[in-house]
């Protein structure tokens, strides 16, 4: 039995030996590739080549000491890179959720909704009153349908019922990419679709879009006759309000009123006049700019600034503790060398400059990798597809990148203080005895 077990073990080893060696060589190849793409590898090689040819100086001395333990330096750099990338992503998320994208034309648009709740409709008979208010250039009913496209349970793009003739004077920045707007005006069962939605679903002019009602107990079957692009959000679908009225039994109501004012200077006056026009009626309105209207939806998510601010603070504190710990270990291992430098006549300020340069360099390199990686990732990824249409833009602005770089630089400076104080307080004799 014993010989049989030994034979089985030996046979299994012979059977899996090629696979084992294959895994070993694959692992070695991965490690070699990681070593090859590591920027610290090339920095160390260039620095040592420079030292061999021209001798060592202050700058090369700092670099050689920073990368002497390449594994620790690499992990430190990656930690700073990941933290910086996460910080930049969080700040960008905060900006996108609290500062919605806005065009110049959007500043001229105003939305009037029911003062009690946005879910409460407004009477259609308010239209002539709004049209007569000075400063109003165009006005159209604007009713959210909220249907599900095809077999989707949640559709990321909105559908709105509008008056096609009046609506043309409101979204003035959009341009027709395909089809003709006149066809949309003539055909009551047609729709006007954003270019992003057309591209995402592979639609073309003449295709039909079928929506299952969620808020309204009716379904829509619409024909695509025109495509628009050039607006802040090229995803929406617009259809005839008369069609919705027919399907719902013509209740004589609209969801909201969409207005365009003559100029930004008269916007506040128009808002006040519209609100006063329907005071003490059965359908009082709350009028606000398009931007304020969008922000009211974002406020439903809670205090986004506070939440993201707390998470960002935790990231910064974690990064600070990690950097201080790493620098402290690196300097503690070199107490004897620093004591020798003291004995050779180097002042405390010069030793502090060496430590500061090493800490700042690793932090700066990590920030460069992390912030650059975050910018590349969020610039070239299909964000709408990844978030199912929740986010349209995720722009990593220069200001956000500068904020991340400043935070990383400050952390690199702060993390050098504790090791520098320890070196300054240590005498030459104590430093020489540290590693004995």
Q: What is the pLDDT of residue 106?
A: 76
Which DSSP helix (H) or strand (E) runs through 420? helix 417-425
Higher per-residue confidence, 294 vs 392: 294
**Cβ–Cβ under 8 Å, residues 155 and 254:** no
**Cβ–Cβ under 8 Å, residues 147 and 213:** yes
Q: What is the pLDDT of residue 436?
A: 46
What gap in Å lies between CA 207 and CA 225, rounded to an integer?
Answer: 8
Among candidate residues 289, 261, 285, 281, the one with its CA nearest the CA of residue 133: 261
At 302, give phi and psi (nearest 5°).
Answer: 100, -165
List all residues 6 or more positions away from 60 whose beta carbon is below 8 Å from its beta carbon: 47, 50, 51
- Among 222-226, 227-231, 349-353, the minimum mean pLDDT is found in 349-353
Mean pLDDT of 349-363: 82
Mean pLDDT of 109-137: 91
pLDDT in tens, 131-155: 999 999 999 999 999 899 988 888 8
At 435, give phi and psi (nearest 5°).
Answer: -105, 15
Mean pLDDT of 117-139: 91
Degrees to nearest 5, angle at CA 222 with 220 and 227: 135
Coil, strand or helix at 165: helix
What gap in Å lies between CA 236 and CA 244, rounded to an integer?
Answer: 17
Q: What is the pLDDT of residue 26?
A: 76
Q: What is the pLDDT of residue 172?
A: 79
What gap in Å lies between CA 236 and CA 191, rounded to an integer?
Answer: 10
What residue ranges in 80-168 does DSSP mark as E strands? 109-114, 122-123, 136-144, 148-149, 159-162
What residue ranges in 185-289 does DSSP mark as E strands? 190-194, 208-212, 220-229, 237-240, 253-254, 256-261, 285-289
pLDDT in tens, 209-219: 999 988 898 99
Locate the domains of the chain by residue range: 69-99+303-432, 116-283
Predicted TM-score of the model (pTM): 0.68
**Cβ–Cβ under 8 Å, residues 319 and 411:** yes
- Among 120-124, 258-262, 377-381, the minimum mean pLDDT is found in 377-381
At 317, give phi and psi (nearest 5°).
Answer: -65, -45
List all residues 6 or more positions away from 42 whose beta carbon is below 8 Å from its beta carbon: none
Which DSSP helix (H) or strand (E) runs through 177? strand 175-179
């Amino acid at each position: 039995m014993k010989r049989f077990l030994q034979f089985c073990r030996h046979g299994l080893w012979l059977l899996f030996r090629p696979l084992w060696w294959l895994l070993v060589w694959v692992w070695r190849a991965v490690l070699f590739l990681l070593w090859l793409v590591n920027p610290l590898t090339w920095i160390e090689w260039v620095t040592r080549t420079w030292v061999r040819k021209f001798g060592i100086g202050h700058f090369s001395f700092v670099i050689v000491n920073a990368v002497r333990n390449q594994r620790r330096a690499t992990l430190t750099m990656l930690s700073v890179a990941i933290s910086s990338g996460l910080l930049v992503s969080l700040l960008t998320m905060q900006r996108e959720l609290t500062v919605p994208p806005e065009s110049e034309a959007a500043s001229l648009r105003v939305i009037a909704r029911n003062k009690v709740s946005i879910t409460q409709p407004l009477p259609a008979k308010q239209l002539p009153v709004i049209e007569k208010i000075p400063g109003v250039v165009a006005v159209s009913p604007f009713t959210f349908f909220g249907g599900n496209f095809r077999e989707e349970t949640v559709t990321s793009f909105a559908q709105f019922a509008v008056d096609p003739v009046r609506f043309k004077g409101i979204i003035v920045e959009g341009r027709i990419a395909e089809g003709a707007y006149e066809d949309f005006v003539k055909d009551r069962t047609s729709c006007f679709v954003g270019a992003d939605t057309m591209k995402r679903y592979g639609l073309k002019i003449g295709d039909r879009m079928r929506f299952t009602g969620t808020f309204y107990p009716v379904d829509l079957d619409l024909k695509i006759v025109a495509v628009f692009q050039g607006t802040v959000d090229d995803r929406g679908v617009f259809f005839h309000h008369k069609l919705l009225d027919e399907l719902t039994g013509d209740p004589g109501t609209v969801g909201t009123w969409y207005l365009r004012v003559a100029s930004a200077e008269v916007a506040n006056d128009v808002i006040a006049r519209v609100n006063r026009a329907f005071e003490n009626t059965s359908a009082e309105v709350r009028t606000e700019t398009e931007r304020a209207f969008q922000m009211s939806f974002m406020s439903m998510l809670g205090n986004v600034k506070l939440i993201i601010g707390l998470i960002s603070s935790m990231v910064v504190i974690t990064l600070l503790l990690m950097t201080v710990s790493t620098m402290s270990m690196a300097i503690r291992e070199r107490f004897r060398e620093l004591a020798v430098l003291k004995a050779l006549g180097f002042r405390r300020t010069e030793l502090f400059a060496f430590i500061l340069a090493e800490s700042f360099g690793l932090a700066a390199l990590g920030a460069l990798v992390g912030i650059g990686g975050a910018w590349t990732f969020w610039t070239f990824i299909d964000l709408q597809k990844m978030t199912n249409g929740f986010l349209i833009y995720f722009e990593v602005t220069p200001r956000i990148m500068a904020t991340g770089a400043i935070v990383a630089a400050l952390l690199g400076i702060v993390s050098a203080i504790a090791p520098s104080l320890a070196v300054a307080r240590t005498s030459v004799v104590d430093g020489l005895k540290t590693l004995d």
